[in-house]
Each structure stands twice: as structure tokens, then as C-alpha cells.
Structure 1
């Protein structure tokens, strides 16, 4: 019962944090390029996580490090750039909506690659969530016909990477402390991020002279502290005390939070999008296995 309540608390907390991350990316891009934002976000988060979590790295075994490296690339490094690139053309709310493909991809990748079973109930919840997301996406396209939805492909690729990452954590790193996984991730990617900052002229005088530079740095710092460093630890914990599909269900609620921020920031929101949001919540409910039974491999739906 304790884990049941705790995992719902973590789910809601992550939804608020990550749902707010998209508007922070949008504001940060006013003063930074997509590659500068992705790299700076990685550096800030790495400094924070390594400062608090370096002691947790000592007990790690050699067998853990190869999976932590892969987890770093799939769950942190590449997505930080992919989302920033996508939001140069697509609204923050729309990006978060497309990100809701993560649970579907998590189930598919888990079953196909990692042999992690998914129950019929969970699969039904995924379908409901996907339908709700589709309604939000198509309605958003009607409201914003000037947006380049080709850039949605960057988000789709990121969801596949997230799906691989969550299954890796559950299958190969379930015995590792969440903070150790997060800190270990950034031991691999901080240096490459610094190199990217250098080659993208982040340290050039022209970058500092931008009227939006200071606010962009502030928004990126907030994004790094809460949306990356803190959220990574909470998310890793959620994966370990629940299932990969339930943990990835955070992406069902995130669009609702992101849409609220988008509305405040002047983005459009329609009644049909509200219907889609309700369907998404139904999907979250169905995707949650209430009984303490391990899901059996699903052979048919």
C-alpha cells in the first residue's frame, strides 16, 4: 500500500515538473540555439548531480557501467538536443503531446527487445492514452497550421530512446540507487556537452550580448535543477518501485500541464483538446496494475 501511494505521488510530481519543462525550453530558446540549450542543460544538471551523488558511484559494479553509459545516451544526452531542436518549429504544448508516445513505445520495446511482459489492461490503457494524444495532436495542427510538423520526428525519436532507457533501468539497473544512476549518466556526457558548447560559439561575445541571454540562462538553470537533475532521480525511483509502463505513464499527464502553461503563454486550446486530455487520464488509470502481480507476457490482445 505504501508503494502504491508513493508511486502515484511521484507520478503527479513528475507530471508537474516535466510538464513545465517544455515552456522553459521555449523561453530558453529565445537567447540560445537548440544545441547550446541542450548542452548547457546537460552541464548544469551534471554539476548538480555529481555534486550530490558522486559518493553513490563507489559501490557500482563493472557490469553496471555499460548499462549506465547506454542509459546516459538514450535517457539524457540525445533527448536534450532533440526536444530543443523540435521546439524551434513546434509549440511547447504540442511537443509534450507527441512525447506521450513514450508509454506505447515502452511497452513495444519492452516486449520486443527486453521480454518484459505487458498485461491486456496495461495495453488498453496505452491505447486510450494514444487516442487522447492523437486528438490533441490533430486539433493542435488545425489551430496552428503554420507549424512545421516534420520536426515532430525529432520528438518521436526521443520517445523511442526514452522507451529503451526505462526498460534498461528496470531490467539491468533495478538494484542500483536512483541517484547513482543519474550521477553515473552524467559522468559520461558532461564533457561532450562542454565540447558542444565550445564549438557552437556559446562563449563568444555575440552570445552574451543577446538581450535574452540572462533570462535564457535563468530558465535553463531552472530546467536543469528541476526538469533534469531532480526529475531524473525521482523518475528512476518510480521505475524501480512500479513497472516501466506505469512509470512512462507520466507522459500522459504532462501534456495537460504543458497545455495550461501554453494557454497562459498565449497558445491556443480548444474544447476537443480537453476531451483528449480526459481520455489520456482514463489511459493512466487503466495502465496502472493495482494488483501486486507480475504482468505475464501478452500474446494476444
Structure 2
């Protein structure tokens, strides 16, 4: 049973990660997608590296540097840049709902790569989840100038990267401590994004508000969030911690409404409900009564 302290931290983590979509909307227009992502991972590295050093864990970065470089690319550098790009044209609420498809991609990648079985409930969940995405994106999928189709695709590509990174981490970094994985992936992402960020740096100095948004992304939504996430993983387990996926869109919608006056439409509400129901089935949190034989490995 989850204790009140753990539940409180789970809600806090959802609120923090929900705010990341707000901060990206506030900072992306002035910094640009890639420079903002670079600042995010660089700031998180500055916070996490001293913590790892205090725990005598820097040796793990040298031992697993190749795998950490791959995770840094797939779990931070690419998705953070893609979400920052999406923030240029779609709302924080819609980005967060599309982000909720991450476990769906994770289930598909784990089935193909790790041989994890998919039973009837999970297959139905995948179908429902992606039906919800189509429902959400139907009015957004314009690829003409000014359309939001590319932004929607950027969010979905980012969630696919997360899904691949999860399976890769399980295969290659299971012996590496969670804090070392978090620190190494952020530091690797900072190295990968440094050159492109310098090349694409903004011509005009961003405003104080944009800098504050970048600092919030780096220190709060990445550094502090990772600490909370891995602490919850160790205390309540991955199955309970993944529930944060269901809470993030609600917070993102509230932050967008409060600070950016973003509207939350009935279409978004319906699509969000379908995506979250599908995710719950795909994760095994909800199950159909009749269970056909599983496909794939155990």
C-alpha cells in the first residue's frame, strides 16, 4: 500500500513534469528548440554530478559511458529538442497528452526487442491508446505553413525515443545505479547538444522570463524530478511509479490555463480519456475479463 508521503511525492513529481510543458512554451520561442534543450540537460548535469560524486559513483560514468551516451541521445537529447520544437506551435496540454503515449511505445518496443508478452488486454490498450492519438491529432495534422502536424509528429517521435531508451536501459544498464544513469544520460545529452546549440544560438539575448523558464526546466523539471522519480522507484516500485503518467496531463493543462490562458477543449478531454484508458490496459493496470493467450515471450 502506498503511504501518504509516497503519494504526496508522486503528485509533486506529476506537478513538476506537468510544468515542464509550460516552461518549454515560455522559453522555446526566444531560445529555439535545440538551445533550450541543451540548457536543460546542462543545468541538470550541474545539479546531478555533485550528488553522484558525493555517493562515490563517478566511476560508473567511465565504466558505462558508451551505453550512457546512447541513453542520453534517446532519453534526453532527441526528445527534449523535439518537445521544445512542438512547444512552438501546440499547447502545453496537448503536448502532455501526447507524452502519455510513452508507455504504449515502451510496451511495443519491449514486445519486439525483449520478448515481453502482449495479452488481450494489452493489445486492446495499444489499439485504444493510438486511436486516442488519432482522435486528438485529427484537427491538428495540417502540414501546411502554420499547421501543427509536424509538432504532433515531433511529440510522437519523442515518445518513441523514450520507449526505445527504456528497453535499451534495461538491457545495457541494469547493473548501473539509477542516479548514475540519470546523471550520465544528462551529461551525455549536454555533450551531444553543445555543438548544435552553439550553432543555432539565438541572435538576440533572451528575456529574463525565458531564462527563468530554462532554469526551471533544467533544475526543477529535470534534476529534481529525476531524484524524486528514482527515489519513488526504489520505495514503491516501477508499477506504482508509472502512475505519474496519468497525472501529468492534468497538471500540464492547469498550468497552461493559469499562466498561458490555454483552452482545454472537449476534443482534448475525450482524446486524453481514450489515451489514458488505453495506457492503463497496455500497462496491465486494468485488465479485460477474458484473457486470450499471450503473444511473444514471458
1:49-90 CA-to-partner distances (Å, cap 9, x unmatched) read 112223443452876333222111111111121111122222
Structure-2 change in CA distance of 1:141 and 1:191 (3 Å): closer
RMSD: 3.4
Q: Which residue of 1 aligns with 2:238?
A: 242
Equivalences, count? 284
Contact 1:166 1:239 in 2 (8 A): no
Map 1:144-183 onto structure 2 (within 5 A): 147-183=147-183
Q: Which residue of 2 aligns with 1:20?
A: 19
The answer to whether the aligner puts 1:270 opposite 2:265 as a matched pair is: yes
The answer to whether the aligner puts 1:257 opposite 2:251 as a matched pair is: yes
1:246-284 CA-to-partner distances (Å, cap 9, x unmatched) read 766644432232222333322222234333434445445
Map 1:5-44 onto structure 2 (within 5 A): 6=6, 12-44=11-43
Contact 1:41 1:220 in 2 (8 A): yes
The one of 207, 211, 220 aligned to 1:217: 211
Contact 1:94 1:140 in 2 (8 A): no
The answer to whether the aligner puts 1:82 opposite 2:79 as a matched pair is: no
Q: Distance in 1 between matches of 2:123 and 2:191?
A: 40
Task: Give the deviation of 1:32 after TM superposition.
Answer: 1.4
Contact 2:129 2:278 in 1 (8 A): yes
The answer to whether the aligner puts 1:48 opposite 2:43 as a matched pair is: no
Task: Give the deviation of 1:127 after TM superposition.
Answer: 4.1
SS in 2 for 1:60: helix
TM-score by length of structure 1 reads 0.78
Contact 1:106 1:166 in 2 (8 A): yes
Q: Distance in 2 between matches of 1:13 and 1:106?
A: 24
Q: Distance in 1 between matches of 2:209 and 2:26?
A: 8
Q: Distance in 2 between matches of 1:31 and 1:147?
A: 20
Task: Give the deviation of 1:105 after TM superposition.
Answer: 0.8
Q: Distance in 2 between matches of 1:37 and 1:282?
A: 32
Q: Distance in 2 between matches of 1:249 and 1:2?
A: 12
Structure-2 change in CA distance of 1:207 and 1:187 (3 Å): same
Q: Distance in 2 between matches of 1:138 and 1:125?
A: 20
Q: Distance in 1 between matches of 2:279 and 2:213?
A: 30
Q: Distance in 1 between matches of 2:241 and 2:119?
A: 15
1:215-236 CA-to-partner distances (Å, cap 9, x unmatched) read 1011110111121112233444
Contact 1:136 1:273 in 2 (8 A): yes
Contact 1:89 1:151 in 2 (8 A): yes
Return 5+ residue gaps in structure 2 as ranges.
287-292
TM-score by length of structure 2 reads 0.78
Structure-2 change in CA distance of 1:262 and 1:141 (3 Å): farther
Return 5+ residue gaps in structure 1 as ranges.
292-296
